[in-house]
């Protein structure tokens, strides 16, 4: 079974803090994705990566950056957290092309 793990299920941070969300997958997938999920808005793509050190902006990249130094790990960085970044963050991975995306359990981030 594909396993996608995220470093924290719940996280509480202060405004202005630098926040790291980590995601690890064990299926040697090329593609990895970060989404945020908000009530009534569904899933919105923040960033994705199709290879090590490669990244592309998704639909809502503002206020976020990413890092992919190893194939299995994809990190989402909030350089200076703000209250409007309070959300559920979901990581996913997939093999090449538009194949199935496998999701982690999510991190619920609260920024105070």
Residues that bind another protein (CB under 8 A): 4, 31, 40-43, 45, 48, 50, 58, 90, 92, 94, 96-106, 108
Residue 95 beta carbon to another protein: minimum distance, rounded to whole angstroms: 9
Listed in sequence order, the residues at least 6 apart from 62 whose beta carbon sits closer than 8 Å to its beta carbon are none
Q: How far apart are CA 41 and CA 61, in angstroms?
A: 16
CB of 80 to another protein, least distance (A): 27
**3-state class of 43 per DSSP?**
strand
Beta carbon nearer to another protein, 3 or 70 = 3
Q: Which is nearer to another protein, 12 or 80 (by Cβ)?
A: 12
Residue 46: CB minimum distance to another protein, A: 12
Nearer to another protein, 39 or 84 (CB): 39
CA 15 to chain centre: 19
Separation of alpha carbons 26 and 38, rounded Å = 27
């Amino acid at each position: 079974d594909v396993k996608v793990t995220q470093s924290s299920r719940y996280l509480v941070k202060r405004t202005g803090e630098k926040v790291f969300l980590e995601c690890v997958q064990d299926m040697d997938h090329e593609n990895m994705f970060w989404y945020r999920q908000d009530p009534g808005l569904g899933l919105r793509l923040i960033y994705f990566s199709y290879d090590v050190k490669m990244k592309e902006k998704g639909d809502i990249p503002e206020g976020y950056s990413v890092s992919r130094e190893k194939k299995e790990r994809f990190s989402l960085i909030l350089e200076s957290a703000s209250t409007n970044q309070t959300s559920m963050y979901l990581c996913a991975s997939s093999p090449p092309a538009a194949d199935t995306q496998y999701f982690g359990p999510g991190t619920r981030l609260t920024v105070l």
